[in-house]
Amino acid sequence: MGLVGFLLHRFARKKIITENDLEESTLNRCLTTTDLIGLGIGSTLGAGLYVVTGQVALENAGPSVTISFLVAALASALAGICYAEFAARIPRAGSAYVYSYVTVGELMAFVIGWNLVLEYVIGTASVARGWSAYFDSLIDKKISKFFNATMPIRISELSEYPDFFAFGITLLLTVLLAAGVKESTRFNNIFTCVNLLVVLYVTICGLFKIDFKNWQLENVPAGAGSGGFMPFGFSGTMAGAATCFYAFVGFDCVATTGEETKNPQKSIPIGIVVSLLLIFLSYFSVSAVITLMCPYYLLDRDAALPAVFDRVGWGVARYIITAGAVCGLSTSLLGGMFPLPRILYAMANDGVIFRFMGKVSERFKTPLIGTAISGLFAGLMAMMFNLKELVDMMSIGTLLAYTLVCVSVLILRYEADVNLHGSMSVTKMDAATRAATTMEPFFIRLLISPESSQPTRLTSRIVKISVAFMALFITAFSAFLIFAADYLSEIEIWAIIVAVIFGLLVLSCGIVIIVQPQSRASLPFKVPFVPLLPAVSVFINIYLMLKLSAMTWARFSIWMLIGKTFASLSDILSLQIFA
């Protein structure tokens, strides 16, 4: 068959999961629903609350940072319920990587898996960097002043100095994770409770010092926008949403625990949905309170919460908030690192990357080598890059993963080539069932009037083609909305016509998908209003991706090139081994 044929076969094949695969695991099944809710909250409610909130309000959105969080929460919630359905279908370690492997194929699975590696490495590094910046701001910037004076880095796109503090705390958490999943979740649950109590304290105490005039400011300094609720305009609010999206990254770590949860098909969906709801309420309430307590242009960039309470004369709140920040950033750091070894474990077991990275320790029941390598890599990233660059680069990989999960839900809901039993396993169809779903002749009328009430190979193919065209039209529509925003705001007729045409193209694809028959399998959790909700999620994710900078896309392309080289090397070695 040759090297080229081997690689093409590897890229196109799909993963088949059987009943036995759902039960077997070399990892320790010990996590409960409460553990997963704590893990989802702990991994997400950290740097976004204590660092990003102030940055977005100051630089992008002003008081409308609350709307930015709402948009980001909507994008995450739509993706979250898609994750929940897949977790109910396929409770395996690997999250979106496994989901796309089952539905789309190995090539796309590798793209998603490689981007999840990027998400979790940079997520860990960015939280470590935020932890360091927050601590540094509390001690009058002594760490940054020392290293800027003794070891400055004068290279564009890198940190101003090597952050050894961020590197050290990353390695410390790596050791904790390697010691075992149950020990890690105990630590996470305690710190998450403290963090939520601090959020409640900030919200209640802040209500006594709010002033609604701070949402109606007119005379603002130069460079602080035009004042009012949206001082940087709608575009600034949406740009803020793209950054605020980072604050919700982490809930998907719950989906990576499929082989370590006692009842994954019920616990994982509950963990995702409940944690996302509590996270949004926390972000929204805190961002509203701090922008009502203080003019947005006076917020501290690195530690907005304690500075706001200092400004209104509540110095004691600084120490309480600091305790919450230490707990929140620590659990967020833990949550950022937690999924990474499990992604490597899943990819290594499938032979997509080198198998030694998925080897599980007999003593600790954790992928020890993968944990150590990922922790070291994340620590180096935290030491050498600043928070802003890390946040943007992580967001693009995460948004792509979310998009593919939503697309996979659409495909699998209308799929005829897999049979989903009550146990939610995914198996090959038997010969009799396959014979009943052989490809029938295609007619244009079948696009809106299918002849079967059950999914067939033809209806399944129609859905796949429609989903592909819908994603293409959504990308073009989103790009036009962004780059022609000025013409649309001025109600230029040609711009309105083009936008309507793109909208109708997307709608027509959605109508074709809606009329096709869906699988009637009974699932513990199903995404409601399919295909509407997954399609809206795809639109929001793609729009936010296109709002990121060109430099972010360039870095993303380099990362994908590295991944392609890595995968090709792994495939060549596999070919030589099995020749």
Residue 579 has pLDDT above 70, yes or no: no
Average pLDDT for residues 393-403, to the nearest whole number?
Answer: 78
Which residue's structure tokens are 């989906």?
255
Chain segment 244-295, per-residue pLDDT in tens:
876 787 777 787 777 778 888 788 888 888 888 898 899 999 999 999 999 9
What pLDDT score does 25 carry? Answer: 58
Which residue's structure tokens are 């994710």?
541
CATH number of 28-413: 1.20.1740.10
Angle between helices 106-138 and 142-150 (to 10 degrees): 100
What tokens does 439 get? 């490809």
What pLDDT score does 433 carry? Answer: 41
Establish how many alpha carbons lie within 13 A of residue 36's alpha carbon, considering only the half-sphere containing its beta carbon: 31
The Cα-based distances of 93 to 18, 29, 38, 264, 413 in angstroms read 15, 11, 18, 10, 21
Confidence of residue 15 (pLDDT cuts 50, 70, 90): low
Q: Residue by residue, what is the 3-state secondary structure of 89-127?
A: HCCCCCCHHHHHHHHCCHHHHHHHHHHHHHHHHHHHHHH
Integer Cα distance of 359 and 361 in angstroms: 7
Residue 432 has pLDDT above 50, yes or no: no
Nearest alpha carbon to residue 69 among 215, 286, 275: 286
Q: Are the C-beta atoms of 532 and 81 separated by less than 8 Å?
A: no
Confidence of residue 436 (pLDDT cuts 50, 70, 90): very low
Confidence of residue 390 (pLDDT cuts 50, 70, 90): low
Amino acid occupying residue 366: T
Backbone angles phi, psi at 261, to 5 degrees: -105, 140
What pLDDT score does 498 carry? Answer: 93
Examine residue 534 and say whether the peptide bond preceding it is cis (omega within 30 degrees of 0): no
Q: Are the C-beta atoms of 371 and 178 separated by less than 8 Å?
A: yes
Extended beta strands in 349-465, E state: 418-420, 426-428
Residue 521: DSSP 8-state: -
Chain segment 125-179, per-residue pLDDT in tens:
777 877 787 778 777 778 888 888 888 877 766 777 888 888 888 888 788 777 6
Q: Kindly give the residue spans of alpha helices, DSSP state H, lying in 207-315.
A: 233-248, 264-293, 304-311
Average pLDDT for residues 302-328, to the nearest whole number?
Answer: 81
What pLDDT score does 388 carry? Answer: 64
Angle between helices 264-293 and 181-206 (to 10 degrees): 30
The Cα-based distances of 137 to 133, 141, 161, 415, 480 in angstroms read 6, 5, 15, 53, 41
Residue 378 has pLDDT above 90, yes or no: no
Instruction: Sort 565 into a burial class: Cβ within 10 Å, 0-12 / 13-18 / 19+.
Output: exposed
Residue 427 has pLDDT above 70, yes or no: no
User: What are 428's strand-pairing partners?
Assistant: 418
Integer Cα distance of 80 and 275 in angstroms: 10
What pLDDT score does 349 carry? Answer: 78
The model's pTM is: 0.75
**What count of other Cβ atoms lies within 10 Å of the Cβ of residue 554?**
10
The Cα-based distances of 239 to 67, 72, 234, 251 in angstroms read 11, 10, 9, 22
**What count of other Cβ atoms lies within 10 Å of the Cβ of residue 566?**
15
How far does the chain reach from its first CA to its final CA, in angstroms? 11
Confidence of residue 575 (pLDDT cuts 50, 70, 90): very low
Establish how many alpha carbons lie within 13 A of residue 200's alpha carbon, considering only the half-sphere containing its beta carbon: 7
- Of the listed ranges 233-237, 329-333, 362-366, 419-423, the least confidently predicted one is 419-423
- Of the listed ranges 79-83, 362-366, 428-432, 561-565, the least confidently predicted one is 428-432
Chain segment 178-216, per-residue pLDDT in tens:
766 666 677 778 888 888 888 898 899 888 888 999 998
Which residue's structure tokens are 């068959």?
1
Q: Residue by residue, what is the 3-state secondary structure of 467-482?
A: HHHHHHHHHHHHHHHH
Residue 505 has pLDDT above 90, yes or no: yes
Integer Cα distance of 88 and 511 in angstroms: 27
Sorted by sequence, the CB contacts under 8 Å of residue 297 that are 6+ apart come out as 58, 62, 220, 221, 224
Spell out the domain ranges in the chain.
Answer: 28-413, 419-548
What pLDDT score does 266 carry? Answer: 82
Residue 474 has pLDDT above 90, yes or no: yes
Sorted by sequence, the CB contacts under 8 Å of residue 561 that are 6+ apart come out as none
Residues 575, 577, 579: CA angle, nearest 5 degrees: 60
Residue 48: DSSP 8-state: I
Q: What is the pLDDT of the chain when averaged over all its residues?
A: 78
Sorted by sequence, the CB contacts under 8 Å of residue 8 that are 6+ apart come out as none
Integer Cα distance of 411 and 150 in angstroms: 56
Integer Cα distance of 516 and 525 in angstroms: 21
Residue 509 has pLDDT above 90, yes or no: yes
What pLDDT score does 387 carry? Answer: 61
Chain segment 106-130, per-residue pLDDT in tens:
777 888 788 777 777 777 777 787 7
Average pLDDT for residues 375-387, to the nearest whole number?
Answer: 79
Residue 84 has pLDDT above 90, yes or no: no
Instruction: Sort 235 into a burial class: Cβ within 10 Å, 0-12 / 13-18 / 19+.
Output: middle
Which residue's structure tokens are 């990308």?
475
Which of residues 121 and 27 earns the better pLDDT score? 121
Sorted by sequence, the CB contacts under 8 Å of residue 90 that are 6+ apart come out as 17, 22, 98, 99, 102, 258, 424, 426
Confidence of residue 570 (pLDDT cuts 50, 70, 90): low
Establish how many alpha carbons lie within 13 A of residue 175's alpha carbon, considering only the half-sphere containing its beta carbon: 5
361-164-335-107 Cα dihedral, nearest 10 degrees: -70
Establish how many alpha carbons lie within 13 A of residue 237's alpha carbon, considering only the half-sphere containing its beta carbon: 15
What pLDDT score does 64 carry? Answer: 92
The Cα-based distances of 487 to 44, 235, 545 in angstroms read 37, 13, 21
User: What are 17's strand-pairing partners?
Assistant: 426
Examine residue 531 and say whether the peptide bond preceding it is cis (omega within 30 degrees of 0): yes
